[in-house]
Chains A and B, each alone.
Chain A
């Protein structure tokens, strides 16, 4: 028999989810988002109201946002409707972010499963940290969790250690 690490209930070998508490029984250490040492991350805090003039954003509502992964050069366009969760796919927990950063070193880079959210209001795009383990950084400054910050063309965003560039056109 195998034991659920969360509630202690016994299951037959091969069982994948605990029927009592719904926990995935094979989740071991490697898939967890490991906290990164503070020294590896920027420390400055971003001011959400700074630079929100929006002068550089396109004025039309047709503006589209593309995320470019610095390490791999991979480009992902934001789906129309203007909202996307950036994170790390974890099928076992049913987490399917719109932009999966696993292929861009998401796990080693300390990206949370649900790390940050990008959304659009009229022509302006915003980014919001979703209480991630290692934080979201905009141009080197750490975002306050759950507080949307405006995004501009050419901004550099960092999720944990993974760097992205924002293109708005």
Chain B
């Protein structure tokens, strides 16, 4: 590694800070550390020299570019497989005894281009709910989607299909599909009947995946269901954790409106996969197709973010913003981020509570990202970034919050309002839940999200009249608000 001093950290600014940010930080620090400053403690002249040196290097465009190149920030760092970017809601904070809130937007991208030729082999298992309620259009559409999936597999991809009701059967044992006709006719032969026990399907599906599970492949289970499972919810979640240990992701797809969204979300997030709401059977193919494309474009997997917090700093909440808004819980001392697509970004918003700090630049946290890049046969890659901010006893200068961060936070706020509406309702407080939905609708209208606003108003009205929500309305709002982050730039049209 380089012996360069970290000028960015000395000034407490982000590595993509603008010249204005740099000037502002310098002015604040220069006042504090200047040897002539009244309250300057002994020994600050050394600090002042460092600040001056950092400012001289970073305020001159050419020198900064040269410095960035030496640091490897301009993408020349041949070792880094992930590129990280962190933005803070403000970089200069007042010194105060009170706790303050600081938001950090953390983004990960692939630092190396992987060509299409490097597409990893897929090791997939479809676990299809064939309970009685699936009979008719739902099962037909699922079969059509399975056929389409079989056709889009490449040489070397392995597929298994299991069908489950209150028991599970292997429809097509895990194998590289050469005889696509036979595989399809097996799928066509699935008959509906029986109850829904998701655990059965998950168990058998994971067993099938074991046959072709390799580190250099994308191991994934796609669960399709339209119903509630009874009594085995906890075991399903445990199994999802086991799947994660085996590097198997689970995509949980709920069709219609009677399925248990909390369970499917839990299964997906525990395994580092994703959950999807399929309102109408006709959408199954499109959503499956989309999912398959995403899986085929995996660049990194088992990505984890470990925050190491400095003194008097804690994390209040973490939200993943891509592909949809999702609350992340600590898993041990780290956060599971799952897989990164070659052309994708993983964005995470951290809400931190910062207690009293001494004046000067303070490191609030170190964020460490670890992950594998299977196509390049690299495992447990590590990249780190420091989160530092400047604390000043004077009123901090005006600082514009990065628009990207603000926009993300606006959406997360709506998502949280939706969460608290449901939790009020669970506590039996219908009036509060109604009011929260109405307030949320107002904010959605502000954003130009007319459809979602209408859905929220409709449910608020229903709630006020009957004390109940419609299952489809609740799912529309939940999956609509979490999808706000996706539609960030072009949702003015409704």
Contacts and interface: CB of A to CB of B under 8 A. Distances in A.
B99 A12 contact: yes
A93 B445 CA distance: 10
A16 B98 contact: no
Contact of B448 (A13, A19, A23, A85): A85
B96 A13 contact: yes
A126 interface: no
B411 interface: yes
B406 A22 contact: no
Contact of B403 (A12, A16, A20, A91): A91
Contacts of B493: 83, 85
A93 B410 contact: yes
Nearest to A26: B401
A19 B413 contact: yes
Interface residues of B, number: 39
Interface stretch (A54-62, A94-102, A139-147, A153-161): A94-102
A165 interface: no
Interface string A7-38: 00001111111111111101000000000000
B119 interface: no
A22 B414 contact: yes
B410 A1 contact: no
Contact of B447 (A17, A23, A93): A93
B335 to A, nearest CB: 21
A121 interface: no
Interface stretch (B45-53, B63-71, B100-108, B240-248): B100-108
Interface residues of A, number: 27
Contacts of A93: 410, 446-447
A125 B373 CA distance: 50
Interface in B406-448: 406-407, 409-411, 413-414, 416-417, 420, 439-440, 442-443, 446-448
Contacts of A16: 89, 101, 103, 401, 406, 409
Contact of B102 (A14, A97, A114): A14
A23 B446 CA distance: 10
Given A94-B447, A95-B446, A85 B492 contact: yes
A24 B446 CA distance: 12
A11 B98 CA distance: 11
Contact of B98 (A1, A17, A23): A1
A13 B100 contact: yes
Interface string B319-361: 0000000000000000000000000000000000110000000
User: Which 9 residue pairs spanning A and B have beta carbons closest together?
Assistant: A91-B403, A14-B101, A94-B447, A17-B413, A22-B443, A14-B100, A85-B492, A13-B100, A94-B410
Interface of B: 89-90, 93-94, 96, 98-103, 353-354, 401, 403-404, 406-407, 409-411, 413-414, 416-417, 420, 439-440, 442-443, 446-448, 484, 488-490, 492-493
14 contacts: A13-B100, A14-B100, A16-B89, A19-B420, A21-B443, A85-B493, A93-B410, A93-B447, A94-B411, A94-B447, A94-B488, A96-B407, A96-B490, A97-B492
